Amino acid sequence: MNIRRFMSKKVVAIGLAAGITLGLGGAAFAYFTAPGSGNAAAAVGDTGTWGIVQNNPATGLMYPGTGTSTITYTITNLGSGNQALESTDLAASVYSEPNSGDVESNGSDVAGCLATWFTPVVGTPTTAYGTSIAPNAFESVNVTVTMKDAGVSQDACEGVSPMVSLAASA
């Protein structure tokens, strides 16, 4: 009988110890909730710049009132985040001498060949306008140039390669 009594005290003691342990363990997972708030500022990057270079020599010939010459440019996102080109971001122009309006060809002004006789038109980039361009990724875009028939001798423009500038404002 002593063994039974001892066993039942031992069983009771183990059961009591287990119950206390579980009770304390349950207390460790109890918590309170309370309202609170905090403010912090996030950071947004700035727009980067675009790198623009001419791919190859122009293709096609233009004459007063007819023909076109096409220049292909590569536009590279030099920024650290995604950027997109919009149709209003790209503008092409023909270089001209500020005082006379003569075109520049191969680093020299061409007297009597007016920049206003040439019309550059920017095409659509390889992917559509508004498409995100990753950092260091690039797009290609064509600029097509035509020459107006001015109704006067335009002989000064024969064999000239007017310098065409493409700028991105984004």
For 19-48, what is each residue's pLDDT tens digit? 666 555 555 556 777 777 777 777 776 677
Return phi, psi of residue 96, to 5°: -140, 155
pTM: 0.72
Bridge partners (DSSP) listed for residue 74 = 53, 140
State the Cα–Cα distance between residues 145 and 120, nearest whole angstrom: 4
What is the pLDDT at residue 140? 92
CATH class belonging to 50-168:
mainly beta
Give the domain ranges of the chain: 1-34, 50-168
